[in-house]
Amino acid sequence: MAKPKVVFVLGGPGAGKGTQCANIVKEFGFVHLSAGDLLREERNKQGTEYGELIETHIRNGTIVPVEITCALIERAMSQSGKEKFLIDGFPRNKNNLEGWQKNMESKVELLFVLFLSCSEDVCVQRCLKRGAEGSGRSDDNLESLQKRIQTYTNDTMPIIECYKEQNLVKTLDAGRSIDEVFSDIKDLFKGV
């Protein structure tokens, strides 16, 4: 049987990963797996042993150990029964990358990495706006956002660089309108 196909979607907080993944799902039939959403769902479960640990990382903008995140992703992939996945917001640091390489890399076909590139300022403003509109996310506040940006710059950018060296990264300017960004995304997904 063919291996499941994967596109990683990376970019800073508020770059539009979730928004654009929803658009891609509608047009191209991928399954959207947001690592952040999977972690928030796990945190909210009754009786999970990881709830507190996940919440602490989310508030501090630090990264949950890969064993937890990768297991959630793998489970969601197999439960879906589908074969084309957008993995949104993962891998975000060296620990994530190494865990993925060890457990998952050989089981999937990585098509490319979609990098939604966006200025720090725009990222912060979008998340603050979402928070003010009642997102309910415990990390949509200035203090958490400063930490999320720091983690993104220090830990996630080197992972994107690593994939760039393998010529796997497709970069788009995500500071534009949702429609403008999606119009370019469509060109990238045609024929996938």
Residue with tokens 């042993």: 49
Pick out the residues of the known binding site for a ribonucleoside 5'-phosphate. 40, 62-64, 89-92, 137, 148
Binding partner at 57 among ligand UP5, Mg ion, none, C-beta below 5 to 8 Å by kind: ligand UP5
Comparing C-alpha atoms, which of 117, 88, 91, 114 is closest to residue 104? 91
User: By C-beta, is 49 or 133 nearer to Mg ion?
Assistant: 133
Comparing C-alpha atoms, which of 116, 90, 88 is closest to residue 101? 90
Residue 134-163 contact track with ligand UP5, rule CB under 6 A, x = bound: -----x--------x---------------
Q: Does 171 bind ligand UP5 (CB under 6 A)?
A: no
Binding partner at 142 among Mg ion, ligand UP5, none, C-beta below 5 to 8 Å by kind: none
Comparing C-alpha atoms, which of 73, 72, 78, 79 is closest to residue 45? 72
**Interface residues toward Mg ion, by CB under 5 A:** 17-18
Distance in angstroms (rounded) separating the CA atoms of residues 138 and 131: 9
Tell which positions 77-106 bind ligand UP5, by CB under 6 A: 89-90, 92, 96
Tell which positions 11-70 bind ligand UP5, by CB under 6 A: 11, 13-19, 34-36, 39, 57-58, 61-64, 69
SS3 115: strand
Binding partner at 76 among Mg ion, ligand UP5, none, C-beta below 5 to 8 Å by kind: none
Rg for the chain (alpha carbons), in Å?
16
Comparing C-alpha atoms, which of 134, 130, 146, 135 is closest to residue 60? 146
Pick out the residues of the known binding site for CMP. 96
- For 100, counting Cβ atoms within 10 Å of its Cβ (0-12 exposed, 13-18 middle, 19+ buried), the class is buried
| Site residues for ligand UP5 per CB under 6 A | 11, 13-19, 34-36, 39, 57-58, 61-64, 69, 89-90, 92, 96, 126-127, 130, 139, 148, 177-178, 181
